[in-house]
A and B are shown apart, each in its own frame.
Chain A
Amino acid sequence: MDEERQIVERIQKGDESALAWLMDRYGNDVLRTAALLLKDRHLAEDVSQEAFLLAFQRVNQFRSESSIRSWLLQISINLCRSRMRRAAWKRLFIREPVGDVAPEPSLTQPGSTGWAEKLTLREEIGKLPLTYREVIVLFYFHDMRTAEIAGILKEPEGTVKSKLLRARKRLKRQLEEGGWDHEQRFLEG
């Protein structure tokens, strides 16, 4: 915690090496969170870079009650939400032309190597609504407790718990429908 405080003080003074330290330590966490929430690698790269830049510019807004990691995740989740909103507005006004090209038929049969490689937990999480994705990512990927998630999402803990319950149910149903059980056995066997 003392180390973090020193880093915050150095960033407040405009020390670039402190920013580099922050990226070395939390860069992967921030990028992976954005990638899981946005389902797009390039957008996630943009958002994660923007998150560190914002943290550098607004370091005075950091409150020491939370950890730097939580604060950075909070910034990146807010940025992801705003990107998703922007994308939704874009979709509303700019309708992309629907091509005549039919989707490629699946060449991979359930149980085959290709099929197992294709079916990823990440993709299944990506099918959930953003609000569920957030709690699932924070709970499972970051191994956070519900109280901590509530702090990051600025929501009551009860809300987080119920969201997590519903998200888990939905994910489980999705995985079962997608033959995840079969794939699990395939991987284990």
Chain B
Amino acid sequence: MSNDFWKDERLGERLREEMNETLFSEKMKKAVVVRARETSKRSFWTRELTIPIPVVALALAALIAVPLFGWRQAASLETKPLTAERQPEDRLIVSGAGVFYESQLNKEEER
């Protein structure tokens, strides 16, 4: 194979010659124009939207932060001991009906 063939112009020329008959026809052009016209008349709901990156980042951050915050809140509630609700000097009273805190029985009496 001659080295001339590998000179850029020769190979390119040969390739361009072979592709000469491949033409972007008028029919194809018309079809593109028709489709372009259709897409520019699209309704609001089928229109393409461009969302800026900062907006996407904010939305993603919110999406991750909200469940995380909720989970932390729930976790902190779970760790609170039930005894925290009663007063420290509250006594336990055992009766036939069950076991009660003294303050609980006092409240019932006041009612």
Contact = CB atoms under 8 A, between A and B. Distances in A.
A53 to B, nearest CB: 6
Contacts of B29: 20, 23-24, 27
B110 interface: no
A41 B40 CA distance: 28
How many residues of A sit at the interface, in one of the four size bands? 35 or more
A48 B24 contact: yes
B33 A120 contact: no
Contacts of A49: 28, 31-32, 35
Contacts of A122: 15, 18-19
Interface residues of B, number: 26
B53 interface: no
Contacts of A155: none
Interface string A2-33: 00000000000010100110011001101110
A41 B32 CA distance: 17
B19 A23 contact: no
A181 B23 CA distance: 29
B19 to A, nearest CB: 4
Nearest to A29: B24
A48 B33 contact: no
B11 interface: yes
Interface of B: 1-2, 5-6, 8, 11-12, 14-16, 18-19, 22-24, 28-29, 31-33, 35-37, 39-40, 48
16 contacts: A19-B32, A20-B29, A31-B28, A35-B19, A36-B15, A41-B22, A44-B22, A45-B28, A49-B35, A52-B32, A53-B32, A122-B15, A122-B19, A143-B8, A168-B6, A184-B5
